[in-house]
A and B are shown apart, each in its own frame.
Chain A
Amino acid sequence: MITLSNLERFYTNASQKTYVLRDLSLKIEEGEFVTIMGPSGAGKSTLLNIIGMLDQPDRGEYHFFDEPVHKLKEKKRQELHKYYMGFVFQAYYLIDELTVYENIETPLLYRKVKRSERQSRIADILDRFQIVAKKDLFPHQLSGGQQQLVGVARAIVGNPKLLLADEPTGNLHSSQGEVIMDLFRQLHRDGMTIVQVTHNEKYAQYGTRVVELEDGFVRQDVAL
């Protein structure tokens, strides 16, 4: 599904190059649940953003299925991103002015999904995540765990092939975190490919494979 070969990502600062990723190669198959780990500044988030097509590598190749992403135009990349990716963030990033229902609806609006279908998909997901009662509340009326549930719901409501999660449990305490991770496990069992970044060894165990980064290299790649 994802083939990264010899990726480089660097910043130029006062004529000095600071590498975030160097010569990184990685293959991820459909149906995997990959956890990326590593110390701060190892390049985890950058890697995730590149996979999610929010960021581009400075060098190297990225194939998503058969598409050479590194060669695609911005517009085409945005299309791929829109239809294949779902994103979950550490800080949830819900839109403050929209209710739970409307937040979940947002990606469907951008995908031009018809109104009736939007309604049934959202109803379905609210039900699955057991947050039907919260659908008319605004984000600030929810606990962190509930906000992240909404975040996950929003990420998958468009049926993406790939779910990308950047420290999804980073802002939650453990019981809430486990709820989210259980949800991820369930999604994975239903066939979703997941790539998550985390610092938490325990949550890494929910996945099928752990990739450890250090200074922009893959230090270890272990299947569980």
Chain B
Amino acid sequence: MFRNHLKIALRQLGRNKLFSTVNILGLSLGMAVVTLIALYLHNEFNYDRWMDQSELTYRVYRDWDGGGKVIWTPSRLAEKLMADYPEVQVATGLGPSGETLLEYAGQKRYIKETAAVDSTFFRTLALPFRYGDPQTALDQPNGMVISRRLAETIFGDKNPLGEVVRFGGEDDYAITGVIDLGARHSHLDYDLYTRFQWYADSWTGNNRATYARLHPQVDVAGLEERLTAEMTDLMRREFLAMNYEPNAGDFPKWKLQPLDKVHLHSADFSFLAKAGGNIRSIYLFALIGLLVLAVAIVNYVNLATARASQRAKEVGVKKVTGAVRWQLTVQFIVESILQSLFAAAIALLLAELLLPFFNAVVGRDLDVLSAQPAWIVLGVLGLALLTGLLAGVYPAFVMSSYRPVTALRSGFLRSGDKGLFRKVLVTGQFTITIALLIVMGFIYRQVNFMIGHELGFQPDQVMLIPLNFNSSHYRVERLKSEFEQIEGVQSLTTASRFPGQFLPDWGVIVEGRAEGESPYVIFADADYARTLDLQMAKGRFFAPDIAADTIDHWVVNEAFVRKAELEEPLGARLKFSADSVYGQIIGVVKDFHLKGLNSEIRPLVMHGYHQRWYAGLKLSTSDLSATIAAVQQLWKEVEPNHPMRYSFLDDDFAKQYDEQQRLGQTIFYATLLTLFIALLGLFGLTAFNVERRTREIGIRKVLGSSVSGIVRLLSRDFLQLSGLAFLVALPVGYYFADRWLADFAFRTELSWWVFALAGLATVLVGLLTVGLQGVKAALADPIESLRSE
């Protein structure tokens, strides 16, 4: 019996090549997308979870009731946890140490992902070692643990334990361990770990992340409460020692985040070392996968029900020869599962082909087959069964219900059903497509809006050179006039930070106020304003020849004036909470965008204190490479042991929109796929209609209908359906676009033409799909089509 089903199914497939292709192609695209997304989701959900005792491991964070969450904690928290909290097995600190120079055998390379940790780090977090012993790797202060990735770049295949490298241009370290994550993922994916070289003996300064592994069955909430109480007490004492009277807003709650939540549930943390996962994008991807697959399944259902009447004879005959309904239902489901199995095979191939593309979009390094082939194949097989079942069950139900007497009546073949259900499904498909197009349109507009928006400073041709040592800026300043003499260099500044970079916020006190402020802080020299073309609202910027400007003068932005409610900002006096001396505000700079346009312009204070991490050069040149080469040449006198690195401020600033751009891309591809699959279905349905109405078309032509008349006849249905789809998609698209845009402080308006364009584009390509076949049918010789009857 089953063989009989298979035979009929295969022969059906072979006989109806067009419809089989439409079905299988659509399903395989849908399943390829689902496979990729499942791979991505599997990957995202398994971050860190695989680690030994991960369920007992937590990351400490500070929770400012509604004011955000921060992962940075005091230097000595890990030590304290181990000493004073019996619930804690072991704890450790981690701080990213930024891009740092590594030298080995005369070769110099900057390593981007470096971290400093406590000696207990690899005892707390069970990252798997390829070489070395995690228990002891960092027992010596000059031990260094590197990733397998980095080990292979530097040392090739050999075991690098004991090799000595120079790190940061000054100190020698011995390799004591090599980490190999294999195919597993962790938010702790640094290339290089060394021990902390310093500790801040403070409970109010927060500079590292703290991880702790607890004993089993610890009351986490109770631990959090005790920690909060004790930390509040320690902080209060320290504030008072600084002559600062703290208020309730200065004390956060101290909490523990489970390790397996770190990757996906940290989007609302103010700044994170490395995570980049986001539960929202998980939902988005899952939704997209389901939508694309649903559209493909709808194609199958539509074509199958449309063509059901052609199977009526078979159903009738089988029932007359003794088949009962369920046997036929099974037969038709076997047929749909067979098609989805074919589709699954193609889907695997497609997934493998599309993977590099997909990886670029999601920013991951996923692998279809090499990771866990059994899991993937089983998963895809399961998916195929499910898809086949979903696609086949309704048509099977319809077809197997035919009564033999009616099914075998000669008129049945031509009549078919009214197709209301099909119309609803087609409308649904195009609603999804148009709504996706609308949302995509607004994402693109918003990204373009942000990139093209006036920032309040000039980011173009501003070259940024990171300094490896804070002290380097003294040498830069000594060579300032020489730099500025280089052809194409207009000005040079050194500063702690530039717009778009991570900006620290410091506690600042306005003289005479009880409550402190916490604005962003930038330390900069007098040429910062000129280099960035900042505009002054009041007063003046720092001047190179006024000594006090670099000691205790302040420049603030308008947002700070508003926030601190300074009636007369010039002359008002400020100090950092931890300082004792006040200095006066000499200028107010007009607000400029410190961060991407997704955030408001927050209060900023600028100070001349000598903390500088970057040099910035404003260039004005047609021969960029010559200017850069000249700068590079001179830079050897600044940091002779460190090769110069550089980037451009406009690029750096635009990087903040990477996530939005990636989202835009994701939706773009999803839309393209959905549209393509929907069109594929439309193509199939139209082909079927043309086939069914060949005689009618022939008669109409003989009676004198024009080609355009026939095309109109065939497109009328689609026009109505897509019009309806457009109307439904309007509010849906509006809702999602509006919700997405709400995240941005500065946003493009919801212009009507984006909606119109999305609808128009979809209807046009749909019409083209229908129309082309209509033209073909209309041009056919009517005598030919009538003869066959």
Question: Could you tell me which A residues sit within 8 Å of B by CB distance?
Answer: 49, 52, 54-55, 75, 78, 81-83, 87, 89, 91, 93-98, 102, 105-107, 109-111, 154, 158
Contact = CB atoms under 8 A, between A and B. Distances in A.
A54 B313 contact: no
B321 interface: yes
Contacts of B364: none
A107 B321 contact: yes
Interface in B1-57: 1, 4, 7-8, 11-12, 15
Candidate in B319, B322, B324 with the most chain A CB atoms within 10 angstroms = B322
Nearest to B324: A78
Interface residues of B, number: 24
Contacts of A96: 15, 314
A93 B408 contact: yes
Contacts of B314: 95-97
B247 to A, nearest CB: 81
29 contacts: A52-B320, A54-B319, A54-B404, A54-B405, A55-B405, A81-B322, A82-B322, A83-B322, A87-B320, A89-B408, A93-B313, A93-B316, A93-B317, A93-B320, A95-B318, A96-B314, A98-B4, A102-B4, A102-B7, A105-B4, A106-B4, A106-B317, A110-B1, A110-B318, A110-B321, A110-B322, A110-B327, A154-B321, A158-B322
Contacts of A95: 8, 313-314, 317-318
A106 B327 CA distance: 12
A97 B12 contact: yes
Interface in B289-324: 313-314, 316-324
Contacts of B408: 89, 93
A110 B323 contact: yes
B7 A54 contact: no
B410 interface: yes
Contact of B322 (A55, A97, A107): A107
Given A91-B410, A106-B318, A97 B8 contact: yes
Contacts of A91: 410
A2 B314 CA distance: 29
Contacts of B313: 93, 95
Contacts of B323: 110
A107 B317 CA distance: 10
B668 to A, nearest CB: 42
Contacts of A110: 1, 318, 321-324, 327
A107 B318 CA distance: 8
Interface string B322-345: 111001000000000000000000
A54 to B, nearest CB: 5
Contact of B320 (A54, A75, A83, A102): A54
B403 to A, nearest CB: 8
Given A106-B4, A154-B321, 14 more contacts: A49-B405, A54-B404, A95-B8, A95-B313, A97-B7, A97-B8, A97-B11, A97-B15, A98-B4, A102-B7, A105-B4, A110-B321, A110-B322, A110-B323
Nearest to A106: B321
B321 to A, nearest CB: 4
B443 to A, nearest CB: 48
Nearest to A138: B11
A130 to B, nearest CB: 22
Given A49-B405, A55-B405, A93-B313, A109 B4 contact: yes
A142 B417 CA distance: 32
Contacts of A49: 405
Contacts of A87: 320-321
A104 B408 CA distance: 19
A74 to B, nearest CB: 9
A154 B327 CA distance: 19
A158 B323 CA distance: 13
Contacts of A105: 4
Contacts of A107: 321-322
A89 B408 CA distance: 9
Candidate in B12, B320, B324 with the most chain A CB atoms within 10 angstroms = B320
Nearest to A107: B321
A111 B405 contact: no
Contacts of A81: 322
Interface string B385-416: 00000000000000000011100101000000
Candidate in B4, B313, B317, B324 with the most chain A CB atoms within 10 angstroms = B317
B20 to A, nearest CB: 13
B520 to A, nearest CB: 74
Contacts of B327: 110
Contacts of B404: 54
Nearest to B4: A109
Contacts of B324: 75, 78, 110
A127 to B, nearest CB: 21
A157 to B, nearest CB: 9
B623 to A, nearest CB: 74
A98 B8 contact: yes
B298 to A, nearest CB: 26
A75 to B, nearest CB: 8
Contacts of A102: 4, 7
Candidate in B321, B404, B410 with the most chain A CB atoms within 10 angstroms = B321
B8 A111 contact: no
A150 to B, nearest CB: 12
Interface in B549-573: none
Interface string B157-174: 000000000000000000
Nearest to A154: B321
Contacts of A106: 4, 317-318, 321
B11 A111 contact: no
Contacts of B15: 96-97
B294 to A, nearest CB: 30
A83 B324 CA distance: 13
Contacts of A98: 4, 7-8, 11
Contacts of B8: 95, 97-98
A109 B403 CA distance: 20
A81 B8 CA distance: 24
Contacts of A111: 322
A109 B1 contact: yes
